Structures are given as structure tokens and as C-alpha cells.
Structure 1
Amino acid sequence: MLVAAAVCPCPPLLVPDVAAGAAPELDAARTACTDALGVLAASRPDLLIVVGPADQAGRGVHHEGATGTFEEFGVALDVRLGRDLGETAGRPLPPSLAVGAWLLARTGWADTPVEALGVGEPLEAARCTENGRALAGRADRVALLVMGDGSACRTLKAPGYLDERAAGFDAAASHALGTADTDALIALDEELAYELKAAGRAPWQVLAGAAEGAGLDGRLLYDDAPYGVGYLVAAWS
């Protein structure tokens, strides 16, 4: 059963070594992520699962001990998902899950078993919620760290250029995440999310499926669009 969730953005720029001189611009987002992970720790889960968008190579389950790197972003920094169990690490973590692993290491997450799930961005809502229900049944007390960004079309300099629909989409997602409204998350338009390059849509809908019937409350901790990309942080408990 899902007992808590933290929703965090997943840009590699969240890692100060990657952001370099621009790191202070995301200090507020990092602080909010730390607060959200504190909610996860307080829930005392039996299993923590990190969920984030992934390309074909990174989709599917990544076991504890899997590693990721930020070398493709010009930084020789490696991260590990949870504990080093002394076994073969398997496939490398996709960037979103590598950022999640970095957040966990940064907050000292150590004792609870950790797994990760890379979700294809085009995955339809019904499959997302089905995956979420399966994750919630993995243990008596499951917590999710859900990585994903809102639209990438909030300004002229955004990665997807300016799209007037972006602010409305992000506002709907922000309200749904801040109120733990699973129906509203499931209702997010898949095609519109794709057009707005909103990488968080599928992971958020996985969360919605996992939270069905759990009776969790939500709290929005951060909502901003630096670089024209919607970054949201929320905690469910």
C-alpha cells in the first residue's frame, strides 16, 4: 500500500556540479526536494520506488545498486541507487532516475530497500495507472519518489519555445499534485503533454494509480518555471 510520495523535478541541472555557476538559481527547488524526501523518511516505508521518465534503453525496472552518471552533461559524477549490494549493477540509470538517486544520497537515505522504474513518456494513462497499482502492492508500506517535469514551453527561450497552452497545463498539474487529486492527474491530456514536452505526465499518472484508495493528502512545496520549464515539488502523506 502506498503510504507516502514525493514529487520532484528531474533536470540534471538540479545537481550543483552540473549546474556549475547557475546552481544557486535552483536552490529553492533543492530545498523543497529535501523537505519532500523528509516526508518519505517519516513514513517509514518497507520499500521505496523511484519512478521517472526514460527512453527505450532506460525503461523498466532498475534494481538497488544500479548506477548512473552525469558524464553526458560534462561532469564526471557517478551515483548509485540505494546501497551497494556488491552485485552486478545492470543497466545504467536514465538521467531522471540518476537525479533521483542523487537526491536520495544527498539526504542520507540508507536503510530502506530501493528500486526504480523507468517509464516511457508516451505510455498511455491506463497503462500508467496499472503500473502504479502494481507498485503499491509490492509491500505493506510503499513510498514513491516520482521524478518529472512539467511543460518545457513556458517562455520564448524554453526548450520547446513558447506555447500559450503551457501555463494552463502546468497549473492543472500543480493543483492536482498539491491536492493529491488522482482523478485530475489521470485526466491530464496525453497528447497535449507530449506536445508541451511535459516529461512528468506519465510518472505522475503512475503515482495516481498507486495512490488510488490510499487516502493521502497533498502539499505543494514548489512551483516555478526557471528556464521556461515547469518544475513542481509536492509531498503526499
Structure 2
Amino acid sequence: MSDPLLELRDVEAGYGETQVLEGVSLDVHAGETVALVGRNGVGKTTTLRSILGAVTPTGGRISYDGEEITAIDPVETVRRGVGIVPEERRVFPGLSVEENLRIGSYGGSDTPNRRSVDEVLDTFENLSRRRESRGVDLSGGEQQMLSIGRALVAGADLLMLDEPTEGLAPLIVERVVDLVEEINDEGITVLLVEQNVAVALELADRVYILDKGTVVYEGTPAELEADERILDRYLGVSV
């Protein structure tokens, strides 16, 4: 197998005196969808923030596309082709759909996967119909689509999604799942943090389980589904 697009080795990170990550190691290869799952508070979001540069690791190493990015800031990380759709979505409430997308197009990375605002609007029919609507007037599903679209206009080659289906109605969850599959099929690598284990297993090529700030399991969705002991111990679910 080729070298990973994203590589974390023994990454330690936290907030002030609070240590959250206790040596996280994982790989994401180009073209994959990799899911990072675990109970609340185990460090999933901190892992994404460490990759982005919003949290500076206190130990270990993060490499992207063959270059170390452990200590660079989020602006530089995004310029290298790493995009994030945060759990809070962070849509600008007073700006229109089109204005939110245009802000996302400033800076970013000039990768082959970079989309224009019009291309994103053509992809997201709901957003196209509401291009003049303010962010605050959008539904939760529309805000999620807008947040994903904003990462696409910034030229993400690696798209990190933090709880993309949280709080969404089942029909909208299905649309988000379809959208993530389409994005991945078009060549964008995906690192997915998802509390909905069924969704994570449906989308992922490989799955990591995080517990108490460290990776405790790696395998395929089929392998994880077959291991009821691991599912119950670390996720408290059956699938």
C-alpha cells in the first residue's frame, strides 16, 4: 500500500492542564473514507482540531501528503488542502448562502478538487433555491450542506467531518450519507467523526475506535460489526 495521505503518530494534545489525547496513531490513505468513533468525551473532536492546527499537539507527529504539519496554524493547513466541517457548522447567520460560500472560497487550496461557488450550488439543489437566504433562516440540514459546500470551495482534498448527522431528521441523514459517498467517489478523502455508528459503518472503508484519548481498535466495518464484545465495551451499541 502507498504511503498514507494523513499520518498521526503518538499524538498528545489537550487544553491547558487537561490532557485529552494520550498518544493517538492512525493513517488515512488517499481515496479512503475513515471513521473515528467512540463515546462522548474520548477525544474525537480534539483529534480533528489537532490535525487542523486549532490545537497544537504537545507530543507526537502529524504528517499530511508527506510533510509534517504538527505545528502549523489552521490557515496554512487549509492552504495545503485540508478542510473541516465542524460539529457546530459555524454558518455566518447574517450572510446569505452565496455570501457564506464566497467567504469559503477566499484563501484555501488550489487543488483539482476545488469547486466554484456555482458548481457547489449546482450540486446542492436546496442551496441553489435558497442562495439569497440568510444562514440563520436555513434548516439544520441546509446548514450542514452549506458547511460542506464551504469546505469544497476552499479546495479540500481531505475533508474532515465532525458529527455531520447530529440532530438531523432521518431523511436528511440519508441525504448527507449520499452526499459524503458522492464526494468520496469524486476523489476527496474523508475522515469522519460520527456518533451514529450505523452511519459510520455504512460510509467507512476502515474504522478506528478512540477511548480515553488513545486508539483501541482498528478494522473494517465488517470486522467491527462481527465483534459484539468490542461494540458493547467501547460503543455501547449493537448493529
Length-normalised TM-score, structure 2: 0.32
Length-normalised TM-score, structure 1: 0.32
Rg larger in structure: 2
Greater share of residues in helix:
1
